[in-house]
Amino acid sequence: MRILLIEDHATLREMLSAHLRHIGFAVDVMPTGRLALAAAAAAPYNAIVLDLGLPDMDGMAVLEELRGSANADAAVLILTARGGLEDRVAGLDAGADDYLLKPFDLPEFDARLRAVIRHGASRAADRGRLLRFGDLAFDAVSREAQAGPLKLSLTRRERALLEALLEAGGRTVQRDAIEGRLYSFNEPVGSNALEAAVSRLRRHLADAGSNVTVENLRGVGYRLLAFEPHADETT
């Protein structure tokens, strides 16, 4: 899962980004509103953590632009020292899913982030986000994947890879689009990192007896390919 963290306070920004990565998220970190909007225009996010007190733009203006962008359905958790009722109502009316007052403890931050992600995933599920291809199924709410009746034990990146391929429904997904889903904005990516992730996903599918594999279109990208079981596998 990919998070956009928008926070100008360096100490808090570094602490939250390290914590989010530690608990399994890919994180892109932006200190200003304009940089955040540029990042949101370039990549999809599951959730956005937004500080209202930014140096270049009011956080409410950033939120309004985000809600009109390709990340309109991303879950949004506001971080702010503005505790007045009018501020909270304005943030929620502008499209935030929840509001967390500074200072806060990490367990509360984690709980509220999980809640807004569930809320965002529920919106996605309402639009038919149970993804299927061949005998594969991926639930956007629970983040669980199955091959037939068998649950697949996948890492965060393997789930993100499978989700990107399932969303394409057998069409080719370009390498850079997949890497944008799997890795943070400034994260160094080895030349064979994506190939290694694809290889691991193929192995999971094969071990589960799935009728789906991942096909490499050299120099272009990857796609899911379903095949019929051999005759001796059906008797």
pLDDT, one tens digit per residue, over 31-46 is: 999 999 988 887 788 8
pLDDT at 29 over 70: yes
For residues 105 and 111, is the Cβ–Cβ distance under 8 A?
A: no
List the strands of the sheet with 150-152, edge to edge.
130-133, 136-139, 144-147, 150-152
Beta bridge partners of 51: 79
Report the run of H or E that residue 67 belongs to, with start and end.
Answer: helix 59-67
Range(s) within the chain of domains with CATH label 1.10.10.10:
130-233
Range(s) within the chain of domains with CATH label 3.40.50.2300:
2-126
Tokens 């990192």, located at residue:
193
- pLDDT tens for residues 161-206? 999 999 888 999 998 888 888 877 666 777 788 999 999 999 999 9
**Alpha helices, H only, 73-192:** 85-93, 106-126, 156-168, 175-182
Per CATH, domain 130-233 is 1.10.10.10: yes
Residue 58: strand, helix, or coil = strand
**Rama region for 135: left / alpha / beta (φ>0; ψ in -120 to 50; rest):** alpha
Alpha carbon distance 87, 192 (integer Å) = 47
DSSP secondary structure code for residue 225 in this structure: E
CATH architecture assigned to 2-126: 3-Layer(aba) Sandwich (3.40)
Contacts from 17-23 at CB under 8 Å and sequence distance 24+?
19/106, 21/184, 23/110
Beta bridge partners of 43: none
- What integer pLDDT is reported at residue 100 of this predicted model? 92
Q: What band does 232 get if pLDDT is binned at 50, 70 and 90?
A: very low
Angle in degrees, CA 58, 59, 64, rounded to 5: 105
Cβ neighbours around 51 below 10 Å, total:
23
**Alpha helices, H only, 127-221:** 156-168, 175-182, 193-207
- pLDDT tens for residues 155-164? 988 998 999 9
